Amino acid sequence: MSELKKRLSSILESPKHNTEEKLQKVCHLLDQEISYFNWTGFYFKNGDKDELKLGPYVGAPTDHDIIPYGKGICGQVAVSNETFVVPDVHQQDNYLSCSIDTKAEIVVPIFKDGQNIGQIDIDSHKIDPFTDEDRELLEWLCKEVSKIL
Ligand code: SME
């Protein structure tokens, strides 16, 4: 297991913090360790509504604290149930701009008991920065996060 995964695991397993604090720390660690992760945050299904609500994040404040299912990259992942890697956000019609600096985005769904209940969303200021290792790390992380929800 990579050093970063070990550190993420130890945050998620820590008895000292509640879920919200753990997710906030996960965002901080990813933001700190991966230079091209420039906005890192969680969205979760908002009760029984077909919309996402912003959870813990690190990065510039966003206007998109509520995202209807189907809207933007995040809303599309809420209905597709699949990781969405966007190398260049300007090539996407169904995209919600958070910051003019954002050039690329990756969104990975989180499943609990087979239901898509949220996601991790990363924005980058670099074009096409995300590697297969990033995708693998984030998909692993979402499975680990699901265990504490
Ligand atoms: N760009 C996202 C909106 C959320 S912000 O990136 C934080 C989207 O298109 O869904």
DSSP code per residue over 103-144: -EEEEEEEEETTEEEEEEEEEESSSS---HHHHHHHHHHHHH
Q: 77 CB less than 6 Å from ligand 1?
A: no
56 C-alpha to center of ligand 1: Å?
14
pLDDT, tens digit, for every residue of 102-147?
Answer: 999 999 999 999 999 999 999 999 999 999 999 999 999 999 999 9
User: What number does the ligand 1 atom closest to the CA of 41 have?
Assistant: 7
Distance CA 101, CA 76 (A): 22
Pocket test for ligand 1, best of 64, 76, 88 (most atoms within 8 A of CB): 64
Residue 18 CA, distance from chain mean position: 19
pLDDT, tens digit, for every residue of 32-82?
Answer: 999 999 999 999 999 999 999 999 999 999 999 999 999 999 999 999 999
pTM for this entry = 0.97
Q: 135 CB less than 6 Å from ligand 1?
A: no
Q: 95 CB less than 6 Å from ligand 1?
A: yes
Residue 25 confidence class, pLDDT cut points 50, 70, 90 = very high
Query: What is the predicted pLDDT for the residue at 97?
Result: 94
- Domain residue extents for the chain: 2-146
Query: What is the predicted pLDDT for the residue at 145?
Result: 98
74 C-alpha to center of ligand 1: Å?
6
Q: 105 CB less than 6 Å from ligand 1?
A: yes
Topology of domain 2-146, CATH: Beta-Lactamase (3.30.450)
